[in-house]
Amino acid sequence: MSSNKQKLRLIGAFAALATLALAASCRGFFVKPTLTTLAIAPASPSIQTGSTNNTVQMSAVGTFNDGSTGNPSVSWSISPANTVASINATGLVTSIATGSATITATSNDNPTISGTQSLTVTVGCITSITLSPTSATISVSQANHTASFTATANTCNGAFPITDTATWNTSSSDVATVAGGVVTAVGQGTVNISASSGGVNSPNALVTVTQ
């Protein structure tokens, strides 16, 4: 009887191993998903200089070849390095000076896969924003049908130029567009131009576009 029991146990053990082997081959139980892409969040973050609102925590979300997502191990870097902002090993960004930078996360398992995100550092503690000049006239028939404005942030630490980092707005893109303080005529009429940063808006500057 004991011999028969031992045979049954061996048969059961072999059957269990066979089942596991079949499951592994058919379902891929032991196959690790392969990382295909990396996405960096949050999108286009903006932080400020100073001691408040001066950090942002970045995260990397990976998509794998089986359609799943997760948080793979990554290395963080920023360009230019330690000029506009710094970033530590966990993805925490801290502002240094106003400007723009690019944040990169690179997979530690597969360094050929990386993701990037743009960062803007603006002036903190803004009380008001002024534009110069306060008005301009442009002719659409001129070869150079543009006008340049500068934006200055008045803060609790003094005045700082923010022309390059401010968000510029136009009341009518059919009349004129604006980017980086440069207004470009599109069609005849008048348009209000403004700049904003840190939740503060400048007074409008009036731009007249003539023929």
pLDDT tens across 16-55, in order?
A: 555 555 544 444 455 789 999 999 999 999 998 888 889 9
- Where do runs of H (alpha helix) occur along the chain? 2-27
pLDDT of 153 above 70: yes
pLDDT-derived band at 143, boundaries 50, 70, 90: confident
Residues 6+ apart with CB under 8 A from 157: 50, 125
Percent residues over pLDDT 90 in the chain: 69
- Name the residue ranges covered by the structural domains of the chain: 1-31, 35-122, 126-210
Q: Which residue has the tokens 């968000």?
A: 167
Q: Residue 175 is encoded by which pair of tokens?
A: 């009349």
Residues 6+ apart with CB under 8 A from 99: 83, 84, 120, 121, 164, 165
Number of H helices, E strands in the chain: 1, 21
CATH, range 126-210: 2.60.40.1080
pLDDT of 15 above 90: no
Residues 6+ apart with CB under 8 A from 101: 78, 79, 80, 83, 84, 85, 118, 119, 121
Is there a contact between 106 and 95 (Cβ–Cβ < 8 Å)? Answer: no
- Nearest one of 38, 113, 109 to 71, comparing CA atoms: 38
The most confident of the ranges 5-9, 47-51, 52-56, 112-116 is 112-116
Q: What is the CA radius of gyration of the chain?
A: 29
* Average pLDDT of the residues in 128-142: 95
pLDDT of 179 above 80: yes
- pLDDT recorded at residue 32: 85
- Please tell me the distance from the alpha carbon of residue 30 to that of residue 13, in angstroms, as a whole number: 20
- Nearest one of 92, 148, 96 to 124, comparing CA atoms: 96
Q: Cα 179 vs. chain centroid, distance in angstroms? A: 19
Task: Answer yes or no: pTM beyond 0.75.
Answer: no
35-122, CATH topology level:
Immunoglobulin-like (2.60.40)
**35-122 and 126-210 share one fold:** yes
* Average pLDDT of the residues in 126-146: 93
Percent residues over pLDDT 70 in the chain: 86
pLDDT-derived band at 122, boundaries 50, 70, 90: confident
pLDDT digits (tens, 9 = 90+) for 66-93: 999 999 999 999 999 999 999 999 999 9
